[in-house]
Amino acid sequence: MREPADPLVIAITGASGAPYAVRTLEALVAARRDVWLIVSRHGWRLLQTECALGGDELRERVGGEGWDAHVTLFADDDRGASPASGSARTSGMLICPCSMGTLSAVSLGASRSLVERAADVTLKERRPLLLVPRETPLSAIHLENMLRLTRAGAVVMPAAPGFYHRPAQVADLVDFMAARVLDHLGVPHTLSSRWVSGGDASDA
């Protein structure tokens, strides 16, 4: 019998793009993947501002029973929690959305919070680290931080949805990015069509 996969660490920080995080969580719970969730103080504010979701509302949106079975929530100020230790096995970490402050801190190895420490652990243990920043325009400092993280082994995936699948509503754009995130996390999904050479992506 196949052993269950190690949990994925998911962090939500204060950059715009809360719908991407919520949709990704929904898909992970639907796929029955265990999640260690960390939401920064600014991340909670973002969820409220962009999605009108507090803690209880987020649980219900993601799916109450699935949340209870697969999501473990950690406080961002608890640097002694499981995601802070390399001895705690995980399948990697996603920061979505990732603020430029968080991206900068992770690129410098700062571990002031659980989000930052968990990302530092993910890099040092050579596990997948995926960051989804949402900022424009980008300064030279932003780009240098992204380059530093890429060289350290992280994947920087800016929240830049495509249009070749002819999105008809905002949800289609959100699904596009969530699908790209899930692909890099190795989680099967049916959120978005795939490009087909010589054909219409919507036929995928």
pLDDT, tens digit, 9 for 90 and up, residues 92-117: 999 999 999 999 999 999 999 999 99
Let me know if residue 77 belongs to a domain: yes
Q: E strands of the chain, at which residues?
A: 8-12, 35-39, 71-75, 93-98, 129-133, 155-156
User: What is the rounded average pLDDT of the residues 77-104?
Assistant: 96
pTM of the model: 0.92
Let me know if residue 1 belongs to a domain: no
**What's the Cα-to-Cα distance from 11 to each of 31, 43, 72, rounded to whole Å?**
18, 9, 12
User: How far is residue 121's CA from residue 109's CA, in Å, rounded to a whole number?
Assistant: 10
Let me know if residue 188 belongs to a domain: yes
On the 0-12 / 13-18 / 19+ scale of CB atoms within 10 A, 13 is: buried
Q: If we measure between CA atoms, which residue out of 178, 187, 179, 181 comes closest to residue 204?
A: 179
Rounded to the nearest integer, the mean pLDDT of the chain is 92
Let me know if residue 142 belongs to a domain: yes
Let me know if residue 204 belongs to a domain: no
Let me know if residue 3 belongs to a domain: no
Structurally, how many domains does the chain consist of?
Answer: 1
The residue range of the domain holding 72 is 8-199
What's 169's domain CATH number?
3.40.50.1950
Let me know if residue 13 belongs to a domain: yes
In the beta sheet, which residues pair with residue 25? none
Q: How much is the pLDDT for 192?
A: 74
